[in-house]
Amino acid sequence: MTENPSKSGSNSDSVNTAILMMNMGGPESEKVEDVHKFLLALFKDRDIIKMPFQDYLGPLISKRRAPNLKAKFDEIGGDPLRTWTERQGKGITEALDKKSPSTAPHKAYTCFRYSKPDIAHSVEQLEKDGAKRVILLSKYPQYSCSTTGSNLNDISRYCVEVKGHLDNNPPQRWSLIDRWPMSRAIVDTYANLIETELAKLPESIRAETILLFSAHSIPIWMVERGDDYTGEVGGTVQAVMNKLGRKNPYSLVWQSKVGPVAWQGPQIEKALEGYVNNGFKHFVVVPIAFVNEHIETLHELDIEYAKDLKEKLKFETFSRVPAANDHPIFLEGLADLIKEHIEKGETISAQMTRRCPGCTKPNCKRTREWLKRLDEINKDLAD
């Protein structure tokens, strides 16, 4: 780690610390060919999709789904992921320049899984910028093989195959923040967002309003393999409820199931139907695993449930808490998380020394070898 107090501030020319904002990405534009390209990359990823004849069926399904997904993006005015990621990166690095002057200047790089700018683009840029240190920051608060895991497998492929990290020490010091399900960044932000949303409701219904924490579901075969995600989402929900003083009834539910196989439930629409049958009418939905607006919040929650399902089931209140986006507590919290990571001198968390108990994937094995190597390099440097 190079001390660089004289160059603190993000306006400096040369970068000291690169923060790689890992996320899935989205179509590069709302054109149907870009939506198709994005879906093709997604359906090719065997880390998250398992189907027979994948090389044949993947392109077919992508082609069939593209116009429909394009229409949804049109309805919400385009995919907001890149804009939010860049805005968050700016907020975090500005805060970090103040909080951690010895590693400043910090600069954020967007590092998407299924679209540009991807890991190759990020590394080219940060090399040009002369960064001495790279911190991979997963933008998924809770770890899943289908999100952070897939991102990391893509990054390790690039770093091992293209950059030769296993054979030659990379010119930067690399480290990883793989999850933060109990961090103030996520817990305090959502507690604050929920309090703000509840305060908008008439006092007469506030106490009986049900908080529906909704997270993207994953297939049961992934849960059975030992994916950490569902347990960590449970952790975030419990920590938020504690912070709120448990003043409202709540449920943890799951959304966005696709395809015919079994997924983690209960699904949000079933839960809503059940609650309505039992006489409940007021809901505040909390997208607890989404840190920025997404098609799952803007279309699925705000259009399919808030409008279409509300009309069908006749519930009265369906208010949706915004995603963390650029909430000041969120950006400050992530900056603090990175600062603590730097101060601790940790390369990878203990959890990243193992794989899911049922994992047999060579990609995941390679990722662990690469992470172990980064850890060894950093330990050698520290000696």
Asked if 304 and 72 count as a contact pair (C-beta separation under 8 A), the reply is no
For position 64 contacting a copy of itself by CB under 8 A, the verdict is: no
Place of tokens 């400096």: 12
By the rule CB under 8 A, 357 interacts with a copy of itself? yes
Can residue 258 be called a binding residue for a copy of itself (CB under 8 A)? no
Measure the CA angle with vertex 373, ends 368 and 375; round to 5°: 95
Considering only residues 314 through 343, tell me which ones interact with a copy of itself, judged by CB under 8 A.
Answer: none
Q: What's the chain's Rg over C-alpha atoms?
A: 21
Residue 351 is which amino acid? Q
Per DSSP, what are the bridge partners of residue 250?
A: 211
The stretch among 153-161, 192-200, 268-276, 323-331 that binds a copy of itself (CB under 8 A) is 268-276
**Is residue 35 packed enough to be buried (19+ CB in 10 Å), middle (13-18) or exposed (0-12)?**
buried
Closer residue to a copy of itself, CB minimum distance, 5 or 199: 199
Minimal distance in Å, beta carbon 253 to a copy of itself?
A: 7
Q: Within 168-227, which residues bind a copy of itself (CB under 8 A)?
A: 181-182, 207-208, 210, 220, 223-226
249 binds a copy of itself (CB under 8 A): yes
Closest distance of CB 358 from a copy of itself, Å = 4
Based on the shown chain and the rule CB under 8 A, indicate whether residue 50 belongs to the binding site for a copy of itself. Answer: no
Non-local (6+) Cβ contacts of 285 within 8 A are 212, 214, 268, 301, 305, 306, 318, 319, 320, 321
Q: Which of 275, 305, 318, 330 binds a copy of itself (CB under 8 A)?
A: 275
Cβ at position 369, least distance to a copy of itself in Å: 12
Which residue, 94 or 340, is less far from a copy of itself as judged by CB? 340
Both tokens assigned to 187: 């817990």
Q: How far apart are CA 85 and CA 363, in angstroms?
A: 26
- Our CB check for a copy of itself shows the closer of 73 and 315 to be 315
Count CB atoms within 10 A of the CB of residue 176. Answer: 24
Binding mask 218-237 vs a copy of itself (x if CB under 8 A, - otherwise)? --x--xxxx-x-xxxxxxxx
38 is a site residue for a copy of itself (CB under 8 A) = no
Q: Cβ 355 to a copy of itself, closest distance in Å?
A: 6
Euclidean distance between CA atoms 305 and 297, whole angstroms:
10
> With CB under 8 A as the contact rule, which of the stretches 60-68, 113-121, 153-161, 240-248 interacts with a copy of itself?
240-248
Q: Is 270 in the site for a copy of itself (CB under 8 A)?
A: yes
Residue 239 interacting with a copy of itself (CB under 8 A): yes
Report d(CA 267, CA 262) in Å as an integer: 11
> CB neighbours (10 Å) of residue 363?
19
Burial label, 64 (beta-carbon count in 10 A; 0-12, 13-18, 19+): exposed
| Binding region for a copy of itself (CB under 8 A) out of 15-23, 245-253, 307-315, 369-377 | 245-253
Contacts with a copy of itself by CB under 8 A lie at 181-182, 207-208, 210, 220, 223-226, 228, 230-239, 242, 246-253, 265-266, 270-272, 274-275, 277-278, 280, 349-351, 353-360
